Chain A
Amino acid sequence: DVKVTQSSRYLVKRTGEKVFLECVQDMDHENMFWYRQDPGLGLRLIYFSYDVKMKEKGDIPEGYSVSREKKERFSLILESASTNQTSMYLCASSRQYTGELFFGEGSRLTVL
């Protein structure tokens, strides 16, 4: 069964802490994405990557960075967490140009 795995389902961090969210896919997909989901705002794209070491900014990249050192792994980094980054974070992957996103279970981050 195809799978996108996010390392942490629930995290609680303090303001100013560095936060790593890890995502691994086992489908050999070229594309990987990080979305943020907030009530009433739907899914907003933070960053995506279409190849190893490649990254593109999405709609809301401020305050975030990403790393893709291996094809199967895409990490989202919050250098200095703030309370307005409290949210659900969703990782997804897709094959190049053929559509259909596969999602992980999500990581719910609370920043105090």
Chain B
Amino acid sequence: AQSVTQLGSHVSVSEGALVLLRCNYSSSVPPYLFWYVQYPNQGLQLLLKYTSAATLVKGINGFEAEFKKSETSFHLTKPSAHMSDAAEYFCAVTEIGGNQFYFGTGTSLTVIP
């Protein structure tokens, strides 16, 4: 089975600072990769996805992520944090052609004014 590791269950950044949320996956075959965001008391919403096209993927709200096969990583970044970015972020993976998804344990992002 796949596994997903998100380093740092809590990350705090100042408003305007760089956001970096880390995600590593275990797979010998490049999978499909996703980042989801969850605002309080809501479901998960897709931020961006990698499906074996360009390795740098742009998503909504100014977020992007880079797939690095050699590092088995898919870290999420945003150049300048906004207060509205405060949320829980989940990295997820699924095998190409598969139907099961594997989630990391999530990273809670706090943005300090």
Which A residues fall within an 8 A CB radius of B? Answer: 4, 31, 33, 35, 40-43, 45, 48, 50, 90, 92, 94, 96-97, 99-106, 108
Contacts and interface: CB of A to CB of B under 8 A. Distances in A.
| A-B pairs with lowest CB-CB distance, top 6 | A103-B43, A42-B105, A43-B103, A103-B44, A99-B32, A105-B43
6 contacts: A41-B105, A96-B99, A97-B98, A99-B32, A99-B49, A101-B92
A94 B99 contact: yes
B42 interface: yes
Given A101-B44, A101-B101, A103-B44, 14 more contacts: A4-B43, A31-B99, A40-B105, A43-B44, A50-B99, A90-B44, A97-B98, A99-B34, A99-B94, A100-B49, A101-B34, A101-B92, A105-B42, A108-B41
B14 interface: no
B112 interface: no
Given A99-B49, A100-B34, A106-B41, A48 B103 contact: no
Contacts of B84: none
Nearest to B104: A42
Contacts, number: 56
Interface in B78-113: 90, 92, 94, 97-101, 103-106
Contacts of B45: 103
Contacts of A101: 34, 36, 44, 46, 92, 101
B42 A48 contact: no
Contacts of A106: 41-43
Among A35, A42, A92, A105, max chain B CB count under 10 A is at A42
B97 A97 contact: yes
Contacts of A31: 99
B35 to A, nearest CB: 12
B12 interface: no
Contact of A97 (B43, B99, B101): B99
